[in-house]
Amino acid sequence: MRSAARSHLLLRLCAAWALACCCATSSVAEESGVTQLADMPLDALFDVQVSGASKFAMRMSETAASVTVISAAEMRALGYRTLAEVLASVRGVMIANDRTYSYIGVRGFFAAGDYNTRVLLLVDGNRVNDALYDQAYLGSEFPLDLSLVERVEFIPGQGSAVFGANALFGVINVITRRAAAAEPSSAGVTLGSRGLRELRASTRAAVGSGALLVAASRSVARGEDLLDPQQGLTQGTDYERRSALYARYEQGSWTSSLTYADRLKGTPFYPGLIFNDPRSRYRDTYTLFDAATQMRIGPHSEFAGRVFVGDYRFVGDYAVDYPPPTLNRDIGRGRWWGAEARVFSTAFADHKLVAGVELQRAGELAQRNFDVDPPSADYLDDRRSATRVGLFAEDQWTLSPRSTLTLGARADRVSGNDTQLSPRIALNHRPNDELVLKLIAGSAFRPPNAYEAYYAVPGPGGSLANPSLASERVRGHELALEWRPRASTRVAASLFDSRASRLLVVGYDAATELFQYHNLGTLHMHGGELELEQLWAGGGRVRANVTLQRTHADAAFGQTGQFPKRMAKLATIQPLDGRWTLGIEAQALSRRGGAAGQGLLHATLATLASQRGWAFSLAVKNVLDRRVFDPGLDAQAMPVIPQPGRQWVLSLERLL
């Protein structure tokens, strides 16, 4: 009861703070001389170009979506170290962590442990979800360091009309820094609580007529000792080790990149494992290479092409008590390659057309399960391949100087599944220069992945395969408003409604003691969001948002209530002098399943890096040292998972 009361209080405080900022905007702005900013073009501040809403760059106000953009400067000033922390500040988004992976919920949908298969993760517009589990990596398992990221775009809603499978509830597009624009060389060190230590270095060099950027990092963390209310204290099971390498080469219209990351993470909490056994752990190894080109093919048209190769390997060790106590191992391997080609044209008056084709071939989708100690024969040894082909087209039609109509559709064929057609329609209308109204409707799909359809391990607590699974479907509608009364102020509001059907739900048969996936779930989600962004002449800024939503689910889905009905978030960055900034972030969420409502406060003191010199930041997470929990993986065996208390992270970087 006390936690709930504190959560409601912090919700009200965040809302009041946001309202106070809104009310104070004009007086503070005028007194500080920010009226000069009002004479600047709107696109110089809030109406930036984004590329994650369609297959070509456009202004935020022109997109058929309610886009949120978080820049590298904001990430640094607010002390973000993972993509999950960035997304946690976005309106309509919640993040949960099971002490191994980070999971995302969007606009009323959240399913604990679903591997983030219902959102699509892109890097520079290219799919990153692996081919075996369709997983989007958001926490420390994300293969890129945030220091390499220029901005993060989040596009809520149904995005399959543009990007195909997995874009059921949103698209995350991570834009990396160009090699030619990166710092010549840098080296950095990070220290933090719970034994966090990290070294990183990057360098840029001219190679031939192009530019090469190479960056590498290595981090280790001891983690913390955690108290399980039922079983006691875990010790030495929360550790993490991570290595990453990134290389990018640019020459003319050609770009190629190599991304590699390897992470080993202890598993302190998981239903069914021997408690406090450090042998339980996960290892994720991800490699992706791509080469792309973009060139003009006429006075009004551009061609873009890309080829890519990916490899993901998962190793899960589970200390279980069968009996006797046994170390069981899962191995998953996905290898894939593919190509994409598209043409963008403005040859027809009042039309912006994009059309293309995308192919992905997963040559190896392998799953194994066996006992390591004592050794056993394979319980599972499944190997198969799959192909997905997509054809897409979109037309942004200018109906009048103040109205555009976006019509798009995509047809996808995935091995073993029916052809899926995903349409999208959006009307953008600008009654005046300050206001944009958007009416958006679309649908999205997700086919079952190899894990859901073919993972099968005999015995109590094992799994049954279900090759007859069908694709999930989501249809959604949104009414969005974006108001910019001056160059320094932006207000955004959305009303959304989406309905999901044939959701894949894992069921448990008490008679056989086996788990199996079925198309059982239906969900109806609806709600609203309100956000304010404000800039000041001296460089200060504030972003505050509130989300209210309701989720209705059938009995088969059984996951309703894990997404908060109310969320309030505030992030403010204030310059202290010419080089220092203070970033403050507050978040309040109402109850999520078994996890009580919570409120968190974070603070970051940072310097702005000079062209050559030192950059410093000190971030303190959970400043008030609140005892908070996230929803657990199992409502009965593990309803909640404890989250870290107060943590500090000190980073020092030298630009050479």
**How far, in Å, CA of 335 to CA of 345, rounded?**
34
Structure tokens given for 205? 């060099």
Phi and psi, residue 30, nearest 5°: -70, -40
633 or 175, greater pLDDT: 175
Taken in order 317, 318, 324, 325, the sign of the CA dihedral is positive
Q: Is the peptide bond between 323 and the residue preceding it cis, with omega within 30 degrees of 0?
A: yes
Average pLDDT over residues 242-271: 94
Q: H helices within 143-214, ranges in order?
A: 160-163
Indicate the pLDDT class of residue 43, thresholds 50, 70 and 90: very low
**HSE of 362 in the Cβ direction (CA atoms, 13 Å)?**
23
- One-letter amino acid for residue 216 of the chain: A
Between the alpha carbon of residue 289 and those of residues 51, 123, 286, the distances in Å are 20, 12, 10
More confident residue, 351 or 13: 351
* 643, pLDDT greater than 60: yes
CA distance 146 to 75: 8
- For the ranges 267-276, 437-446, 575-584, 647-656, the maximum mean pLDDT occurs at 437-446
Closest listed residue to residue 186, CA positions, set 151, 215, 150: 215
**Average pLDDT over every residue of 113-140:** 93
Q: What is the mean pLDDT of residues 577-599?
A: 92
3-state secondary structure of 30: helix
Calpha distance 419→429 (Å, rounded): 33
Supply angle C-alpha 52, 140, 616, rounded to 5.
Answer: 90
Decide if pLDDT at 628 tops 70: yes
Q: d(Cα 603, Cα 447) in Å, to the nearest integer?
A: 41
Q: Could you give phi then psi for residue 9, rounded to 5 degrees? A: -65, -45
Checking if the pLDDT of 470 tops 50, the result is yes
User: Three-state SS across 304-354?
Assistant: EEEEEEEEEEEEEEEEEECCCEEEEEEEEEEEEEEEEEEEEECCCCCEEEE
| 36 pLDDT more than 60 | no
Which residues are CB-contacts of 409 (< 8 A; sequence separation ≥ 6)?
A: 161, 392, 393, 394, 421, 422, 423, 424
How far is residue 305's CA from residue 342's CA, in Å, rounded to a whole number?
Answer: 6
Residues 127, 175: Cα–Cα separation, whole Å: 12
* pLDDT over 50 (residue 345): yes
pLDDT in tens, 375-403: 999 999 999 999 999 999 999 999 999 99
The continuous run of DSSP H or E covering 85 comes out as helix 83-88
pLDDT of residue 578: 74
pLDDT at 14: 43
Q: Which of 1, 159, 4 is nearest to 598 (CA)?
A: 4
Query: Is the pLDDT confidence value at 40 over 70?
Result: no
Q: Is the pLDDT of residue 647 over 90?
A: yes
pLDDT of residue 577: 80
Mean of pLDDT over the chain: 88
Average pLDDT over residues 604-621: 83
DSSP tag of 44: G
Q: Which two tokens stand for residue 539?
A: 């460089």
Quick one: 2 exposed, middle or buried, by C-beta within 10 A (0-12, 13-18, 19+)?
exposed
Tens-digit pLDDT profile for residues 130-168: 999 999 999 999 999 999 999 999 999 999 999 999 999
| Residue 77 to residue 614: CA distance in whole angstroms | 15
| pLDDT of 213 higher than 50 | yes
> SS3 for 414?
strand
For 592, which DSSP code? B
What domains can you pick out in the chain, each with its CATH number? 2-655 (2.40.170.20)
Give the pLDDT of residue 20. 40
Average of pLDDT values for 22-49?
44
Q: In this predicted structure, what is the pLDDT of residue 44?
A: 54
The whole-number average pLDDT for the span 453-471 is: 92
Q: 275-328 pLDDT, tens per residue?
A: 889 999 999 999 999 999 999 998 999 999 999 999 999 999 999 988 889 999
Is 280:270 a contact under the CB 8 Å cutoff? yes
Question: What's the full length of the chain, in residues?
Answer: 656
What pLDDT does residue 37 have?
32
Give the number of other CB atoms < 10 A from CB of residue 598. 24
Is the pLDDT reported for residue 30 higher than 70? no
Give a three-class secondary structure readout of 513-574: CEEEEEEEEEEEEEEEEEEEEEECCCCCEEEEEEEEEEEEECCCCCCCCCCCCEEEEEEEEE
Task: Label residue 93 left, alpha or beta by phi (over 0 means left) and psi (-120 to 50 means alpha).
Answer: beta
- Contact between 226 and 255 (Cβ < 8 Å): no
pTM above 0.75, yes or no: yes
DSSP-based three-state secondary structure for 627: coil
Per-residue pLDDT at 211: 93
- What is the per-residue pLDDT for 25? 36
At 645 the three-state DSSP class reads coil
